[in-house]
Amino acid sequence: MSPMNRRDFLKASAAASALIALGSKAQAAPADPKDLTWTKSVCRYCGTGCGLYVGTRDGKVVSVKGDTENHNAGFLCLKGFLLPEIMSAPDRLLHPLVRKGDKLVQASWEEAMALAATRFREAIEKHGPDAVGFYGSGQGLTEETYAANKLFKAGIRTNNVDGNPRLCMASAVAGYVSTYGKDEPMGCYEDIDHADVFLLVGTNTSEAHPILFRRIVKRKQSGKDVKIVVLDPRRTATSRVADLHLSFTPGTDLAILNAMASVLFAEGLVDEAFVARHLAFGEGADADKTLADYRAFLAEYTPERAAALSGARAEDIVTAARWFGAKGRTAMSMWTMGLNQRTKGVWANNLVHNLHLVTGKIGVPGSTPFSVTGQPNACGGVRDGGALSHTLPYGRLVANEKHRAEMEQLWNVPAGTLAPKPGLATMDMFRALEDGKLKALWIMCTNPAQSLPNADRYRKALRREGAFVAVTEAFHPTRTSELADVVLPAALWAEKEGVYGCGERRYQLLECAVKPSGEARPDLEILCDLGRRLGHGALLPWKTPAEVWDELRAVAKGTAYDFTGMTRERLRTAHGLLWPLPAEGHPGTSRRYVKGEDPLVPADAPDRVLFYGRPDKKAVVWLRPHKGPEEPVDAEYPLWLTTGRVIEHWHTGTMTRNCKELRHANSESVAELHAEDAAAIGVRTGDPVRVTSRRGSVVFKARVVDGARKGLVFVHMHDPDRMCNVLTIDAVDPVSRQPEFKICAVKVAKA
């Protein structure tokens, strides 16, 4: 057989993907587009935030089409295209359930809510407000997350409010805050169209964010000598289009990033004027170092030393730095979980920012550091909305007395209502559930019993004697709802109205297109009901999500997030709006910190950028040394394990596994192995292998792939029957409290 060339490979891949999309059976298609009612909305899946229209007929969602006027230019990925199927999935939860012995049985809303409220009230009365907690989601609507945050922090008076964005982007948040003083990317998707160099670090954009990847590919083809550099231990579909792929030993990219900075200085690629005007330097938590300190620090990170530490080639590190730093060329970095899900995730984020700062490649079209987001409303709802255990809405902090006072005034509660001590971050919250300090937990729109690292440990905690767990969820059973004491049917996506904020600070309205299925209710209604039953109804007085939105605009007014001008009516007609947007006539802000674009930068500011997030108006270059992962490989556990997405599935699979076309594709998680590692244990593709870590053991089918790195096992994350998180480690970054999902040590044997 003649070898397949790259074009043949691509054609085969393209045909396979299209045929998978075709499915074995046709989707019920609309008889005629004129028969449908089209409602403007946003995709339910990743943080790209693709605009779309929901096509309904006879009260059912039957079709979607991309919004050609939105940033995605009408394109949707396969998951988005198949969204109608999730709405009527056979495992949609249509009625409340309460636990009777070992079983969850159907109950009335009154019975279920009364039970949940009673157990929460008892826990609070007997053990204090910190005996309860709320675990939310980057998939909840902004209004819903805000209601929960307000109820728990201002009503119940506990800061035990956290959410699954802690698992995916907390390190990006801490990276932005430590470097610029404010969270969230300063750039936008349009920067992709102007970038000359892409530095993609720890992101398989091709599969995890296909519509953004399409835009990157388009730019590569239309721009002049556009370069793509990928830093990833694996050779992914993304790295196949790269001009330079640096594969390295997991957890050693800090050395590579420092070495790139070292090359920038050594080769005169630093913007000295920008450095002098706009940068401070720091180590630890203090910005008290100098440029000379930084240069001395970088002297340790020669490309050769970084190569020795990482296994990458020194000449590739030099090339990557030269391309990134080339004068007169723009550079855009993008990253996701490979950088964030690490015990040194914040440091890794800082080091990417450093490259932009020392070259001055920031704040111009095509030059920006951009953390890409995994969930549709992690940014808008949880990050911006301040629904983490240490935050308050719109950049405010629990530990800041002035911020608490502002929120107490805005929420019309007595001074001193808000507790000054940050609450429990996600892993601490589930550990508190395990050791009995947390008595009752409300889980909304997420599936932690599958998605937490070291999952079996926390599955036991969720069923601990005396613990009470309420779950609101659109599907049942999930690996979490099966453990709950009360499961409440939540309205799903097009069944309710609210706002999503995607990765580029773009807020968009999802209009309600159909009535909720069965007895399902929007989470906002459920939370307001809970609040009334706990005696806090006055804090949650709203009749509609639009009323919540008006309150949110007032809460954000005057902050760095100001979106006062985003009225509900404007959101209904616009195809997404980017904050800051402080007045109704304002068009929104493509690039923050930039004079002439960001309304918070004075028109008479002396320079093109003003990093107003910090008191000294400077961004910080941090001296962050190389430090390896928490659990290195050893003689007993000699292989690295990493986990991640495939294009067909999303998160714990509760939605994508309900699409029959997607069930045919990669629905069963496999363990991808390097050919030599597979040969060493005598397995071939399709053979069962047992992957064992210090925390658990799971059997997968082996898949021997040419993109694997020797010594590295990659496992898909979506399969509830083969949960990769039984294996992953629950060690966290000490600053962001984000777990190191991406790296641990395992052994693999033929099963």
Partner 1 sequence: MTTVAGVLLQTVPGAGPRVAARLAGEPGVTLAGGDGDARVALVWEAEDGAALDALAEALLARDPEILGVYPTFVGNDGER
Q: Which residues are marked as active site?
A: 79, 168-169, 337, 374-375
Check binding of 19 to partner 1 (CB under 8 A): yes
Check binding of 73 to partner 1 (CB under 8 A): yes
Binding test (CB under 8 A) with partner 1, winner from 182, 220, 476, 592: 220
Binding span for partner 1 by CB under 8 A among 71-79, 427-435, 652-660, 704-712: 71-79
| Side chain identity at residue 525, one-letter code | E
Half-sphere exposure in the Cβ direction for 722 (13 Å, CA): 22
Q: Which is nearer to partner 1, 143 or 648 (CB)?
A: 648
DSSP 585-636: T----SSTTBTTT-TTS-TT-SSSB--TTSTTS-EEEE-------SS---SS
Check binding of 20 to partner 1 (CB under 8 A): yes
Binding test (CB under 8 A) with partner 1, winner from 18, 554, 679, 699: 18
How far are the Cα atoms of 51, 145, 507, 649, 662 from residue 567, in angstroms, in the given order? 18, 19, 11, 34, 38
Check binding of 65 to partner 1 (CB under 8 A): yes
Closest by CA to 496, choosing from 96, 165, 87, is: 87
CB 29 within 8 A of CB 554: no
Q: How far is the CB of 242 from partner 1 (least distance, A)?
A: 9
Check binding of 32 to partner 1 (CB under 8 A): yes
Check binding of 119 to partner 1 (CB under 8 A): no
Q: How far is the CB of 277 from partner 1 (least distance, A)?
A: 38
How far are the Cα atoms of 172, 255, 306 from residue 625, in angstroms, in the given order? 18, 7, 11
Check binding of 224 to partner 1 (CB under 8 A): no
d(CA 148, CA 135): 9
Check binding of 4 to partner 1 (CB under 8 A): no
Binding span for partner 1 by CB under 8 A among 7-15, 369-377, 398-406, 611-619: 7-15
Check binding of 240 to partner 1 (CB under 8 A): yes
d(CA 128, CA 132): 8
Check binding of 419 to partner 1 (CB under 8 A): no
Binding span for partner 1 by CB under 8 A among 23-31, 42-50, 467-475, 571-579: 23-31
Report the Cα 294 to chain-centroid distance in Å.
31
Binding test (CB under 8 A) with partner 1, winner from 156, 177, 212, 237: 237
Check binding of 516 to partner 1 (CB under 8 A): no
Binding span for partner 1 by CB under 8 A among 58-66, 375-383, 666-674, 703-711: 58-66
Binding span for partner 1 by CB under 8 A among 63-71, 304-312, 550-558, 681-689: 63-71
Name the DSSP letter for residue 50.
Answer: -
Site for partner 1 in 74-103 (CB under 8 A): 74-78, 81
Q: Which is nearer to partner 1, 15 or 554 (CB)?
A: 15
Residues ≥6 apart with Cβ < 8 Å to 337: 168, 202, 203, 374, 644, 741, 742
- Classified as helix, coil or strand, 738 is coil
d(CA 456, CA 601): 49
Token pair of 270, please? 């630093």
Check binding of 31 to partner 1 (CB under 8 A): yes
Check binding of 27 to partner 1 (CB under 8 A): yes
Check binding of 198 to partner 1 (CB under 8 A): no
d(CA 552, CA 406): 14
Q: Which is nearer to partner 1, 9 or 460 (CB)?
A: 9
- Classified as helix, coil or strand, 281 is strand
Count the residues of the shown chain that bind partner 1, applying the rule CB under 8 A.
46
Closest by CA to 460, choosing from 483, 494, 438, is: 483
Q: Which is nearer to partner 1, 117 or 208 (CB)?
A: 208
Q: Which is nearer to partner 1, 217 or 675 (CB)?
A: 217
Residues ≥6 apart with Cβ < 8 Å to 504: 49, 71, 185, 187, 188, 189, 370, 578
Q: Which is nearer to partner 1, 31 or 273 (CB)?
A: 31
Closest by CA to 447, choosing from 500, 483, 497, is: 483
d(CA 209, CA 237): 12
Binding test (CB under 8 A) with partner 1, winner from 49, 66, 363, 395: 66
Binding test (CB under 8 A) with partner 1, winner from 22, 273, 296, 538: 22
Q: How far is the CB of 70 from partner 1 (least distance, A)?
A: 15
Binding test (CB under 8 A) with partner 1, winner from 3, 90, 222, 682: 222
Check binding of 189 to partner 1 (CB under 8 A): no
Binding test (CB under 8 A) with partner 1, winner from 14, 583, 679, 699: 14
Tell me which residue has tokens 């559930």: 433
Q: How far is the CB of 181 from partner 1 (least distance, A)?
A: 37
Site for partner 1 in 653-682 (CB under 8 A): none
Strands (E), 279-353: 279-283, 286-289, 331-335
Binding span for partner 1 by CB under 8 A among 6-14, 328-336, 501-509, 541-549: 6-14
Quick one: residue 646, left, alpha or beta (phi over 0 = left, psi -120 to 50 = alpha)? Answer: beta
d(CA 34, CA 53): 14
Check binding of 23 to partner 1 (CB under 8 A): yes
Question: Which parts of this chain interact with partner 1 (CB under 8 A)?
Answer: 5-7, 10-11, 13-23, 25-27, 29-33, 63, 65-66, 73-78, 81, 206, 210, 213-214, 217-218, 220-222, 237, 240-241
